Amino acid sequence: MTEDDDLERRVRWLYGRIRATASERVTRFDRTPEILDLAAAAERCREVTAPLLDGETRDRYESDVTAWQSWREQRAMCSSAAIRVGSRIAETPPGSDARRAPQDDFVVARARLNALDADRERLRSAADVAEGVLKADEVERAANADTIERGQQAWTELIGRLRIQIETAVNAFEVLPEWFERALGMSPPADAEQWFRTGAEVLAYRATYGIDDEHALGSRPSDQAPAHRLRWYEQLVTWLEPYGADRRPDRATG
């Protein structure tokens, strides 16, 4: 989009906004029972998945298991190589030139085995811990599979519905709530995708935690609040920064 196109878009929006303001068409982002049910299902999913391993942590534990498996394979290959060299030594006369080469090979194979054995306990211990943690995670994940699936589906539907609410209001030139305009501005920028996504998540956050504050995110969650709520709050604070977000981070709530 060129600067002229963007300017024309803004002029059209302002014209529509003037007309909407004159008729006092202020949009309401109503929290219907359906919206609240979707928000509750998504929050329940966050609650049950909070103790589960995230992708990065799971990858680290799986790497520990793989390292031990790799060690065992290398140890088996080196042991087989040492046995083969030993057989060659046994087949040659003591002190003969024919025995010198396999003897040298055996020294190398033995050194390799010693180097591998030095890592045995560390790698085995790490793998034992990792396997236990991964197994427990799989059991817990399976026990909550239905809740997780419903929550993920609810989240997708929730964000979709809330985004449609915002898009409908913008396209109808409706006046957005004062708290929304302070946080995100009166209209989307030329690159509107992240703006709509941020607005939808702010609405979802407010619906999830019953926020009716005049500031977009309300007060900062207290230290006693769930960790996933604090992470979500901090993410939205970051997302709102480009739009001159008006929030209240100085007073914490549970």
Q: Where are the chain's structural domains?
A: 3-52+144-253, 56-142
pLDDT at residue 245 above 60? no
| pLDDT recorded at residue 18 | 62
Kind plus residue range of the DSSP H or E element containing 152: helix 145-171
**What is the reported pLDDT for 247?**
46
Residues 157-215: pLDDT tens digits? 999 999 999 999 988 888 888 899 889 988 888 889 999 999 999 999 999 999 998 89
Interval 37-77: pLDDT, tens: 999 999 999 999 999 999 999 999 999 999 999 999 999 99
Can you tell me whether residue 214 is helix, strand or coil?
A: coil
Angstrom distance (rounded) from CA 254 to CA 154: 24
**pLDDT at site 250:** 44
What pLDDT is stored for residue 104 in this prediction?
84
CB 162 within 8 A of CB 28: no
Question: Which among 131, 170, 150 is positioned nearest to 39, based on CA atoms?
Answer: 150
Report CA dihedral (8, 10, 12, 18) to the nearest 10 degrees: -150
pLDDT for residue 96: 80
Query: The tokens of 190 are what?
Result: 């030329």
Choose between 116 and 24: higher pLDDT.
116
Consecutive H or E run containing 252: strand 248-253
How does pLDDT run across 86-121, given as a tens digit for each residue?
A: 888 888 888 787 888 888 888 888 899 999 999 999
| C-beta separation of 176 from 212 below 8 A | no
Counting Cα atoms < 13 Å in the Cβ hemisphere of 35 gives 21
- Angstrom distance (rounded) from CA 121 to CA 106: 24
Give the contacts of 31 (CB within 8 A, at least 6 positions apart). Answer: 207
DSSP state of 212: -
Instruction: Please check the confidence at residue 85 and state whether its pLDDT lies above 60.
Output: yes
Q: To the nearest whole number, what is the mean pLDDT of the chain? A: 87
User: What is each CA distance from 155 to 47, 49, 217, in whole angstroms?
Assistant: 13, 14, 18
Residue 214 CA to residue 248 CA, distance in Å, equals: 9
For the stretch 220-232, pLDDT in tens is: 999 899 999 999 9
Is pLDDT above 70 for 15? no
Residue 158 three-state SS: helix
> β-strand 219-221 against 248-253: which pairing, if any?
parallel
pLDDT at 90: 83
* Choice between 23 and 83, residue whose per-residue pLDDT is larger: 83
